[in-house]
């Protein structure tokens, strides 16, 4: 029972990690994913080596609410940074739940009564 | 009367603790890491502060550059708007300071309600109060560094408050401003105070821990993740922004208040300076003297453990196990078969009995709770069943 739960947690954790890894550049690009927003060296690499950069065009409208919320609250630029911190925060809570759940069996208090002499 | 307040709250706290254990197990119960939580945030503050320090320029005008306006405010603006993740790091630095104050208050409350602040623990309490006041002051200097209108108001309010003090006031004011008026040197001084006193906190922490054998200083990884994650979410929810750049010829009159650090300024704005100083000093002294013996009546006076000299073999087990460093190992007297002898420092002993359990030779005992009596009681209880 314990092992199957752990396996499930590992799988869920891996998926969360993959999603967060994908979201990181998207957030860093200002949540648009436009080719022109990628760093210069990556664009150069893409044009000269045929490296395909992930296309975030589908996800461009995802953060409209976040953007307006952040602007309203005084965050003037680098909104992607804030979005990234949000995603990382959620990912870390997931990681914490995973670690705590997997370590739960070891965490149970085992009382050993000392027998003297 | 007074001592009944924390005692009543102890039962409630233990109940809460038990409930939390049922859900989170004792390994991840935040109640068991209440002292480590502020320290976690201190490490976060050091790290994020180091990153901010790399780009911060402590001047109020173009002290270093001849072109464009480059000062503390514009450097903070540059960090926030231009440096990758700069705004997030700034937010993390700011909110981990707030989190540190919150967790320190919770830590102190827990220590108080569980009655773990007096007798042999008075050093921890008194150093804890001093550390708390120091954290508040260091945090306030962080607000001066931004050099927006709020910084200017806070600086002026501090100077007027310091000047109010008789004898030492003008000297303190000149030290605070690094001169007689606000200049570039003032900002340098603020930065020096902010960073210098931050590292002085480490010395304070050493004093705080010096009488504990095994202080819990680091929460488990899962808890660290949660603490960091909460910071990240707060950074997103409440982005940090500076106010208008300070103009020393201007007279701004209001600012957004951060209640965790700036509440003394709120008090200052609402009462006379004499009353302000009275409240601040009286409040600090009252907190500091809380562990004084005549403020409470001990339910069971502590009787220090006693070493049975003829049985002690100098094995060190009791000394190693004692949580309060109350047992010293000294050279055994001449003629002894053993090299060392255990000696109890009564003023540090809590009478917890850990040493009695650690000793394999019946060489240490509690005078009011003898090992043999405890064993007899357990036997009687077992037989009664």
Give A47-101 pLDDT, tens digit per residue. 899 888 777 777 777 778 888 888 888 887 778 888 888 888 888 888 888 888 7
Question: What ipTM describes this predicted complex?
Answer: 0.74
Distance from CA of A84 to the nearest CA of B (A): 9
Range of the domain at A99: 2-107
Q: Mutate which of A70, A81, A83, A87 to disrupt the B interface (most B C-beta within 10 Å)?
A: A81
Domains of chain B: 4-295 (1.20.810.10), 306-384 (3.30.70.3270)
Closest chain B residue to A72, measured at CA: B239
B239 at A interface, C-beta within 8 A: yes
Does a structural domain hold residue A115?
no
B229 at A interface, C-beta within 8 A: yes
Does a structural domain hold residue A114?
no
Does a structural domain hold residue A61?
yes
Which is nearest to A20 in space by CA: A72, A81, A75, A92? A92
**Kind plus residue range of the DSSP H or E element containing B223:** helix B221-237
With CB atoms and an 8 Å threshold, state whether A88 touches B27: no
With CB atoms and an 8 Å threshold, state whether A106 touches B27: yes
Distance from CA of A42 to the nearest CA of B (A): 17
- Residues of chain A found within 8 Å of residue B362, distances taken between Cβ atoms: 117
Q: In the structure, what pLDDT confidence band is assigned to residue A112 with cuts at 50, 70 and 90?
A: low
With CB atoms and an 8 Å threshold, state whether A107 touches B25: yes
Does a structural domain hold residue A100?
yes
Please tell me which of the candidates B24, B223, B235 has its beta carbon nearest to residue A85.
B235
**Greater pLDDT, B103 or A43:** B103
Does a structural domain hold residue A17?
yes
Per-residue model confidence (pLDDT) at position B4:
66
pTM of the model: 0.85
Q: What is the pLDDT along chain B (385 residues), one digit of tens a residue?
A: 566 666 778 888 888 888 988 888 888 888 889 999 999 999 999 999 999 999 999 998 866 666 677 889 999 999 998 888 899 999 999 999 999 999 999 999 988 888 888 888 888 999 999 999 999 999 999 999 999 999 999 999 999 999 999 999 999 999 999 999 999 899 999 999 999 999 999 999 999 998 888 888 889 888 999 999 999 999 999 998 888 898 888 888 888 888 999 999 999 999 999 999 999 999 999 999 887 776 666 656 678 899 998 899 999 999 999 988 899 999 998 888 899 999 999 888 888 889 998 998 889 999 888 888 888 888 888 888 7
Q: Count of domains in chain A?
A: 1
Distance from CA of B259 to the nearest CA of A (A): 19
- Residues of chain A found within 8 Å of residue B238, distances taken between Cβ atoms: 73
Which is nearest to B36 in space by CA: B196, B214, B197? B214
User: Nearest 5 degrees, angle CA B226-CA B232-CA B237?
Assistant: 125
Per-residue model confidence (pLDDT) at position B297:
63
Question: Is residue A31 within 8 Å of A63, Cβ to Cβ?
Answer: yes
Buried b (16+ CB within 10 A) or exposed e, B231-265: bbbbbbeebbbbbebbeeeeebeebeebebbbebb
B228 at A interface, C-beta within 8 A: yes
Question: Is residue B57 within 8 Å of A54, Cβ to Cβ?
Answer: no
Question: What percentage of chain A reaches a pLDDT higher than 70?
Answer: 84
Per-residue model confidence (pLDDT) at position B135:
96
Does a structural domain hold residue A43?
yes
Long-range Cβ contacts of B336-341 (<8 Å, 24+ apart): B338/B312, B338/B313, B338/B314, B339/B314, B340/B314, B340/B316, B341/B307, B341/B309, B341/B312, B341/B314
Q: Mutate which of B30, B237, B238, B239 to disrupt the A interface (most A C-beta within 10 Å)?
A: B239
Does a structural domain hold residue A112?
no
Does a structural domain hold residue A13?
yes
With CB atoms and an 8 Å threshold, state whether A109 touches B26: yes
């Amino acid at each position: 029972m314990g092992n199957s739960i752990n396996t499930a947690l590992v799988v869920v954790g891996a998926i969360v990690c993959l999603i967060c890894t994908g979201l990181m550049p998207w957030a860093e690009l200002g949540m648009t994913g436009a080719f022109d927003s990628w760093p210069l060296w990556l664009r150069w690499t893409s044009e000269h080596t045929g490296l395909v950069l992930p296309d975030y065009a589908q996800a461009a409208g995802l953060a409209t609410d976040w953007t307006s919320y952040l602007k309203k609250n005084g965050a003037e630029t680098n909104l992607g940074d804030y979005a990234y911190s949000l995603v990382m925060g959620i990912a870390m809570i997931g990681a914490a739940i995973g670690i705590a759940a997997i370590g739960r069996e070891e965490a149970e208090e085992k009382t050993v009564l000392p027998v003297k002499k | 009367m007074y001592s009944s307040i924390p005692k009543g709250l102890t039962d409630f706290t233990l109940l809460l603790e038990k409930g939390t254990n049922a859900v989170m197990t004792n390994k991840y119960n935040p109640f068991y890491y209440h002292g480590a939580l502020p320290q976690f945030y201190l490490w976060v503050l050091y790290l994020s502060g180091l990153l901010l320090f790399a780009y911060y320029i402590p001047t109020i005008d173009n002290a270093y550059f001849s072109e464009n306006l480059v000062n503390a405010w514009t450097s903070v603006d540059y960090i926030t708007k231009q440096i990758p993740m700069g705004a997030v790091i700034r937010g993390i630095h700011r909110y981990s300071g707030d989190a540190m104050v919150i967790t320190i208050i919770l830590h102190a409350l827990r220590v108080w309600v569980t009655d773990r602040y007096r007798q042999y623990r008075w050093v921890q309490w008194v150093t804890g109060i001093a550390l708390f006041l120091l954290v508040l002051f260091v945090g306030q200097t962080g607000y001066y560094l931004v050099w927006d209108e709020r910084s200017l108001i806070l600086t002026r309010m501090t100077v007027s408050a310091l000047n109010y003090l008789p004898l030492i006031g003008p000297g303190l004011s000149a030290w605070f401003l690094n001169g007689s008026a606000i200049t570039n040197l003032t900002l340098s001084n603020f930065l020096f105070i902010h960073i210098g006193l931050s590292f002085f906190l480490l010395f304070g922490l050493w004093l705080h821990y010096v009488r504990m054998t095994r202080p819990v200083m680091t929460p488990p990884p899962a808890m660290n993740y949660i603490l960091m994650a909460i910071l990240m979410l707060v950074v997103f929810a409440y982005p940090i922004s500076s106010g208008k750049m300070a103009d020393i010829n201007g007279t701004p009159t209001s600012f957004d208040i951060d209640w965790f650090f700036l509440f003394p300024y709120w008090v200052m704005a609402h009462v006379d300076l004499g009353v302000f100083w009275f409240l601040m000093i009286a409040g600090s002294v009252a907190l500091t003297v809380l562990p004084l013996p005549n403020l409470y009546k001990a339910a069971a006076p502590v009787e220090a453990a006693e070493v049975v000299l003829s049985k002690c073999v100098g094995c060190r087990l009791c000394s190693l196990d004692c949580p309060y460093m109350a047992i010293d190992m000294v050279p055994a007297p001449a003629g002894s078969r053993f090299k060392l002898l255990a000696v109890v420092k009564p003023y540090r002993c809590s009478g917890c009995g850990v040493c009695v359990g650690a000793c394999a030779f019946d060489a240490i005992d509690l005078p009011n709770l003898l090992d043999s009596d405890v064993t007899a009681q357990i036997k009687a209880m077992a037989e009664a069943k």
